[in-house]
């Protein structure tokens, strides 16, 4: 009888030990599960109207926010410029370096990149929502008279960038398209009217994205 009781006592201890181990394992699993919340993004539409282009064109910008509301804006000569966001400047500078290399520009010609009218259009876009934008170049009337026989031209460009402002969900919501810049060197001033009519109504940039 004594042996039987010792065996039962040992079995109880073993069961108790097993329960404790199972409980500890459950706590560990709970701590290892990452707590994620959906992301919210700050999206910025960056409109860049070079001063040289502003003499010939204005920019019409239209964008639709996460709630489906459409906004319109005009960027034109005389508007006060704004600083680019950090994300936009990185993309713009990368495209600028490519354009300079491709065009083989001299120091004087590079100055078209230094005089810009920048406008930012910001919106908040939660995960699962979308936004879109498009932009159009409009010829200025009447056209100015250039003092020099030729001029170097940098085309207007509109693009978007985004950053996470809340949430911690892994995201693939980044624009991957190549940002191209159109540079034209030594355009004859006598051809301004033909040049403006050729590009009147041209697209300066558009895009849409559903945020992850």
Give me the pLDDT at residue 6, please.
Answer: 43
Give me the pLDDT at residue 28, please.
Answer: 52
User: CA angle, 56 as apex, 51 and 57 as ends, to 5°?
Assistant: 85
75 in Cβ contact with 193 (< 8 Å): no
Give me the pLDDT at residue 179, please.
Answer: 85
pLDDT digits (tens, 9 = 90+) for 83-108: 999 999 999 999 999 999 989 899 99
Positions in the chain short of pLDDT 70: 1-33, 172-177
Domain map (residue ranges) of the chain: 1-33, 40-210
pLDDT digits (tens, 9 = 90+) for 171-200: 766 565 678 899 999 999 999 999 999 999
Give me the pLDDT at residue 36, please.
Answer: 85
């Amino acid at each position: 009888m004594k042996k039987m009781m010792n065996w039962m006592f040992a079995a109880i201890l073993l069961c108790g030990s097993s329960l404790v181990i199972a409980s500890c394992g459950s706590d560990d699993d709970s701590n290892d599960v990452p707590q994620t919340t959906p992301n919210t993004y700050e999206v910025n539409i960056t409109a860049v109207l070079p001063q040289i282009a502003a003499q010939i064109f204005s920019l019409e910008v239209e964008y639709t926010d996460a709630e489906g509301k459409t906004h319109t804006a005009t960027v034109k000569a005389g508007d006060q410029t704004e600083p680019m966001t950090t994300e936009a400047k990185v993309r713009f500078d990368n495209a600028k370096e490519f354009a300079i290399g491709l065009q083989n520009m001299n120091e004087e010609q590079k100055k078209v990149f230094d005089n810009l009218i920048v406008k930012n259009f910001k919106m908040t876009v939660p995960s699962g929502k979308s936004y879109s934008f498009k932009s159009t170049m409009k010829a200025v009337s009447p056209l100015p008279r250039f003092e020099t026989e030729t001029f170097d031209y940098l085309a207007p460009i509109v693009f978007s960038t985004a950053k996470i402002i809340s949430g911690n969900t892994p995201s693939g919501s980044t624009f991957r398209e190549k940002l191209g810049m159109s540079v034209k060197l030594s355009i004859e001033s006598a051809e301004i009217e033909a040049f403006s009519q050729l590009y009147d109504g041209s697209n300066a940039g558009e895009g849409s994205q559903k945020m992850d």
